[in-house]
Amino acid sequence: MATGGNPLQHRDAGHGVDPLFPRRWSSRAMSGAPLPEGALMTLLEAARWAPSSYNGQPWRFRYALRDDLHWASFLGFLKENNRLWCVRAGALVALVSRTVDDDGDFARTHALDAGAALENIQLQGSLLGLVTHAMAGIDREAARVGLAVPAEHEVQCMIAVGVPGPADLLPEHLQAREVPSGRRSLADLIGAGPFPA
């Protein structure tokens, strides 16, 4: 199933949650079409409006558009299992977080804040009908060196962004995974007050 299908058929979101949330999912099926730079800017602008501790905004983004000067090196930062479907992405984004605040003190929530920015990108991408897919499966050291990541910054993940495409362009084992995943039940995750003894 490509992103053009209806993910809600596979997901039982309850409690009146807006369909925006279960509709977003991490497809890998992309067409290989170029992504207009303006669409990428819309996603990154969404990220800019994420909440962060003390409004520290520790997220930083470096990107490559398909077939531009940096495309091959960005593809090279990915582990092989990710590269094999990212070859049809329209853009690759590296999400980097600054690990210190403006006073030079450790920013304890830098990764958490970067995660909020990631979610904004993915929700905005879903609203635009684009594939967005986060990847921790990267060669962090290669990315750190290749992106000239400054001191006191950490590479968190890379994000594939693309125009949806037919799933049958994917290797067979990934075609089988082109189905939106489920979730643990809310009851498994929550409780009033402290954890039980």
Ligand X SMILES: Cc1cc2nc3c(=O)[nH]c(=O)nc-3n(C[C@H](O)[C@H](O)[C@H](O)COP(=O)(O)O)c2cc1C
* Contact call for residue 3 and ligand X (CB under 6 A): no
Query: Which residue minimizes CB distance to ligand X?
Result: 137
- Report angle CA 53, 15, 129 to the nearest 5 degrees: 70
User: Are 139 and 11 spatial neighbours (Cβ–Cβ below 8 Å)?
Assistant: no
Element (H, E) at 131: strand 131-135
Q: Least separation, in Å, of the C-beta of 62 and ligand X?
A: 17
Query: How many residues comprise the chain?
Result: 197
Q: Segment near ligand X (CB under 6 A), from 54-62, 66-74, 97-105, 134-142?
A: 134-142
* Contact call for residue 53 and ligand X (CB under 6 A): no
Which residue type sits at 27? Answer: S
Give 3's DSSP letter. T
Q: Least separation, in Å, of the C-beta of 133 and ligand X?
A: 6
Positions 143 through 182 that interact with ligand X (CB under 6 A): 157, 180-181
Question: What is the spatial distance between Cα 72 and Cα 61, in angstroms, rounded to a whole number?
Answer: 17
Question: What is the spatial distance between Cα 26 and Cα 5, in angstroms, rounded to a whole number?
Answer: 13
Which pair of tokens denotes residue 38?
């303006």
User: Are 58 and 108 spatial neighbours (Cβ–Cβ below 8 Å)?
Assistant: no
Q: Least separation, in Å, of the C-beta of 190 and ligand X?
A: 19
Positions 32 through 51 that interact with ligand X (CB under 6 A): none
Q: Least separation, in Å, of the C-beta of 196 and ligand X?
A: 27
Query: How many residues contact ligand X, by CB under 6 A?
Result: 11
Find tokens 């809310």 and name the residue.
Answer: 186
Q: Segment near ligand X (CB under 6 A), from 30-38, 62-70, 130-138, 188-196?
A: 130-138
Question: What is the spatial distance between Cα 195 and Cα 4, in angstroms, rounded to a whole number?
Answer: 41
Question: Closest CB to ligand X among 149 and 179?
Answer: 179
* Contact call for residue 137 and ligand X (CB under 6 A): yes
Neighbours of 163 (CB within 10 A): 20
Q: Mask: binding to ligand X, 63-102, rule CB under 6 A, as x and -?
A: -------------------x--------------------
Would you tell me which residues interact with ligand X (CB under 6 A)? Answer: 25-26, 82, 133-137, 157, 180-181
